[in-house]
Structure 1
């Protein structure tokens, strides 16, 4: 009995002690330790899979902590920035972005039409003879 437990097993035992409802589920046969450990190991302690085992006070603490943090990621941050922006400023930014995109499209269309006009019929006949592979391999 001199074996010590793996550190992750010790962490899982601590997690189970914080959530006694897990023990009840295992004893009732609704869950088994192996599956619970694997889920805990892969998903982590904060996953929604553990919500049914949390007490009401833990759920409230989690809600307040996630509201202060940015759990939703960058989309929430963008949403907050849009809320803080003035509507006129937002319209100006959208207009300038639209103009910039229009300019880029115009430049690209000029390059495309320039390539088609300058190429003539010589490249049109050469195009089918080129290999369809993007890489050419040569023998030494």
Structure 2
């Protein structure tokens, strides 16, 4: 009797479950069926972060150390801050400040002729407690 040839996606899923042994543990415990896992794998793909929890414990530690785990963004932020050139950032901030000042001066120059060179008239405030005598 010959063996049946499996569909290529099923073959890939079999390889995937070998690298994620906790999937088979959940199937054996009855929490989910293998069909459920296959459908999730087919839709999400094998690179989805939700599969990390099904890897062997040693594999999870490697991912965290590489910066792909839970503490990864802090490590990445630290490395970015170490590479940051403070003097270059300071120069960019000075250029930005000068550009903003130039735009403000330009706006003030266009507003002055529109007002006719007059200072703005103070607005008279109405008394909020206007009572009439009876």
TM-score by length of 1: 0.54
**C-alpha deviation, 1:107, in angstroms:** 1.3
**C-alpha deviation, 1:3, in angstroms:** 6.9
Q: Which has the higher helix share?
A: 1
Q: Secondary structure at the match of 1:17?
A: helix
The answer to whether structure 1 residue 22 and structure 2 residue 28 are counterparts is no
CA 1:56/1:27 → structure 2, altered by over 3 Å: closer, same or farther?
closer
Provide, for residues 118-140 of structure 1, a one-character-per-residue CA deviation record: whole Å limited to 9, x for no partner: 4458xxxxxxxxxxxxxxxxxxx
CA 1:110/1:96 → structure 2, altered by over 3 Å: closer, same or farther?
same
**C-alpha deviation, 1:17, in angstroms:** 2.6
For 1:95 and 1:17, how far apart are their aligned partners in 2? 52
**C-alpha deviation, 1:25, in angstroms:** 1.4
Tell me which residue corresponds to 2:9.
8
Tell me which residue corresponds to 1:83.
82
Q: Secondary structure at the match of 2:32?
A: coil
Once the two structures are superposed, the pairs formed by residues 1-140 of structure 1 within 5 Å of their partners are 4-5=6-7, 7-64=8-65, 66-67=66-67, 72=73, 76=76, 79-83=78-82, 90=86, 92-119=87-114
TM-score by length of 2: 0.56
Unaligned runs of 5+ in 1: 122-140
Structure having the higher Rg = 2
Tell me which residue corresponds to 1:130.
none
CA 1:112/1:32 → structure 2, altered by over 3 Å: closer, same or farther?
farther
